[in-house]
Amino acid sequence: MSSPVPSAPADRPDRSRTALVRRARKINRVLAQTYPEAGCELDFQDPFELLVATVLSAQTTDRRVNAATPTLFGRWPDAGALAGADRAEVEEVIRSTGFYRAKTDSILRLSAALVADHDGQVPRRLADLVKLPGVGRKTANVVLGNAFDVPGLTVDTHFARLVRRFGWIDADSLKDPVRTEHAVGELFERRDWTMLSHRLIWHGRRRCHARRPACGACPVAHWCPAFGEGPTDPEVAEALVTTQGRA
């Protein structure tokens, strides 16, 4: 995954709304070229599997979830089966994902709610998804965008960090994930939201790390007001780039 040597942002960037939209969309286009394979890194076969896997992904890596879910779904392939599963058995299967007792409670209650309220099927509306136990807007948007092709923005820690560094939102909006979602959504066409989320998350996992972003190996450095938060020397920065996500 090679990177061009970045150039620093202009000293006096145009701060108008029009310029902000143009910079944001330029960054999205460059990230699309940088990560053409960007997409959901959770393995799933249907909306139910994606919903459960997303709940399990909290505070752990997608790799750990992907290691556990084949056994989980092999034994309990749908909401009806999982709703009736033995708690201790489920805990043992998902133990490696961390916080396994709380996560077991969430996916058992989630499955029971799907059976009771939606005939065992995952609903296709945000309003219905967020009423399910353990499901917030972030999880709901992951499912809508990747299982049902309904555009949504996934405001996770990577997404929030990057939109702050890019200067796409103000400090007040950053305090509230819903306000962040709406503020970023206004910069892009709705049809681009899901893939934008993937690209930002991929970039955050691979280059724009929380502690030491690889600024000197960043393809969007020229449009980033936070250029310099991490090493700007290309060789030093390139050593920080990962070919797979850290989380």
Domain boundaries, the chain: 17-39+153-238, 47-147
Residues in contact with 173: Cβ distance below 8 Å, sequence separation at least 6, in sequence order: 179, 180, 182, 183
* φ, ψ of residue 119 in degrees (nearest 5): 55, 30
pTM comes to: 0.90
Q: Which of 167, 225, 220 has its CA nearest to residue 10? A: 225
Instruction: Output the average pLDDT for the chain.
Output: 93
Question: How far is residue 221 from each of residues 12, 29, 179, 181, 210, measured CA to CA in Å?
Answer: 15, 13, 25, 23, 16
Per-residue model confidence (pLDDT) at position 7: 62
Per-residue model confidence (pLDDT) at position 243: 81
- Dump pLDDT digits (tens) for 48-72: 999 999 999 999 999 999 999 999 9
Q: Is the pLDDT score of 28 beyond 70?
A: yes
Q: Is the CB of residue 140 less than 8 Å from the CB of residue 100?
A: no
Per-residue model confidence (pLDDT) at position 125: 97
Among all residues, which ones are annotated catalytic? 138, 156
Q: Mean per-residue pLDDT for 135-146?
A: 97
The answer regarding whether domain 47-147 maps to CATH 1.25.40.80 reads no
pLDDT band for position 24 (cuts 50, 70, 90): very high
CATH, domain 17-39+153-238, list 2.40.280.10, 1.10.1670.10, 1.10.260.40, 3.20.20.140: 1.10.1670.10
Residue 49, CB-side half-sphere exposure with 13 Å CA sphere: 19
